Amino acid sequence: MNKAVCAIVAALLSLASATDAAAYWQEAAATQASVEDGQAGPVVEPVGALDGGGLLVDRDFGVQTSAAGLDRLVEMYQWRIRDGEYERVWNAARIDSTGFDGERRNPPFQLESRRWWSEQATLDGHPVDPQVLQVLGEWRVFRPNFTRLPLNMAAAFQPEGDGLGSAENPLQPQIGDLRIRWRELILPPLRGKVALRDGVWHLRPSVMPGIERGGTDDEALASAAGDGQGDVSPLSWWWLAVPLLLIVLLLKRRKTRRKS
């Protein structure tokens, strides 16, 4: 076996070694993540988007969404005392007007705020633990389609901003007037934030209430481990290219010697 062939064999062995090393570090990162999440095997990362599992409906107003949560926020125009002075404000809870002047009393709420959570949300075909929705979900105001508004509500409310209002003149509301907005629950990408245990997606221990959303240790580990389909970091690819470059140089050198 001549020197060129030996060099090629050595380069191929180096290539295989580099590939094995990259695979080793991928598996090590996945194993470390699984240990932190209390799993016996590598962490399974979500691939698709969250499916809310059907429509959530506010039947009082015919408002619906396919998101994982629906929130109805009701505010009433009321009196309150601030720095010894009476003022009118929108507030989501009734302000106790006991002790106010007789002309400045707040009426009871005629309509309640309500919230609906999806009980059938799935991710990649597996159910999602409710805690995932409650911790990671973000409420965003949306403008519903009021084509299903019941006649009794249509008689009492009119479109106002992104929702409905009971004031005859929205620019001059009166004490006791209501305004209603709806919000839907939106979830960010869940890769690195959830782990599949016993067939259910659970919140990872490192992603708990009070911890800033965004980069987490689990995400860093997941990134190092790739997406489970044989990804290798850019640095690993650089080392894989070195043996191939050596092969090309050796063949070129051998061809030059033959010509001379």
From first to last of the 260 residues of the chain, give the pLDDT tens digit. Answer: 455 545 555 555 555 554 554 444 454 444 444 445 555 556 789 998 999 999 999 999 999 999 999 999 999 999 999 999 999 999 999 999 999 988 899 999 999 999 999 999 999 999 999 999 999 999 999 999 999 999 999 999 999 999 999 999 999 999 999 999 999 999 999 999 999 999 999 999 887 655 444 333 344 333 333 443 344 444 444 455 566 667 767 777 776 666 65
Predicted TM-score of the model (pTM): 0.64
Determine the Cα–Cα distance for residues 172 and 174; give it in Å rounded to an integer. Answer: 7
Q: What is the pLDDT of residue 248?
A: 67
Sign of CA dihedral 138, 140, 145, 149: positive
Decide if 233 contacts 44 (C-beta within 8 A). no
The region that residue 195 occupies, defined by phi over 0 for left and psi between -120 and 50 for alpha, beta otherwise, is beta
The pLDDT of residue 21: 46
Cα→Cα distances 116→57, 111, 123, 255, Å: 8, 16, 19, 75
Q: Rounded CA gap, 222 and 40, in Å? A: 16
Contacts of 246-254 with C-beta under 8 Å, sequence gap 24+, read 246/7, 246/11, 247/7, 247/8, 247/11, 250/4, 250/7, 250/8, 251/4, 254/4
Q: What is the token pair recorded at 144?
A: 């519903």
- Decide if 218 contacts 204 (C-beta within 8 A): yes
Amino acid identity of 214? G
Strands (E), 32-98: 50-51, 56-58, 63-65, 69-82, 85-91
Nearest partner of 158 among 148, 168, 150, judged by Cα:
168
Q: Give the pLDDT confidence score for residue 230 in this predicted structure.
A: 40
Q: What are the structure tokens assigned to 142, written together?
A: 């949306």
